[in-house]
Amino acid sequence: MSGYTGVMGARLTFRLHAGPELGIGERRIVRDAILFWHGERWTVHVFTVMADHVHILATSAQVSPGRWYPLASVLQSVTGFTAREINRGRTGVFWQNETYDRNRSGRGGIRGEGEVYSGELC
């Protein structure tokens, strides 16, 4: 995604590598990390934090006219922070290396107006 200068929207999914599922407190850490950059580096339209994986529908935020934050770097911030925080009580690799994303937009971004987000802890 580096060098991409258009509005970028994507559905992102990332999964636990192995081990025990996320407890409710750990899911809250993930939720808070997802929302940390909301409105600054990305707009989170909807997300779900499940016991073993996460789904996010987000659009990158504009850095300057014609330039947007790369979603990959925002997602790396989320996964890196949550792995460090949650791994304080665990050992080993936390998130799988693969992140599944699907481009959900062209130049116009994700359809829909507003900066409303919702989240769910399952």
Query: CA-CA distance, 108 to 19, in Å (whole number)?
Result: 40
Flag whether the pTM goes above 0.95: no
Residues of the chain with pLDDT > 90, as a percent, come to: 38
Q: How far is residue 56's CA from residue 11's CA, in Å, rounded to a whole number?
A: 6
pLDDT in tens, 55-87: 999 999 999 998 989 888 999 999 999 989 988
| Dihedral of the alpha carbons of 10, 108, 1, 46, in degrees to the nearest 10 | -20
**Domain 9-107+116-121's class?**
alpha beta
Q: Where are the domains of the chain?
A: 9-107+116-121
Whole-number pLDDT of residue 109: 43
* pLDDT score for 66: 86
pLDDT at 34 over 90: yes
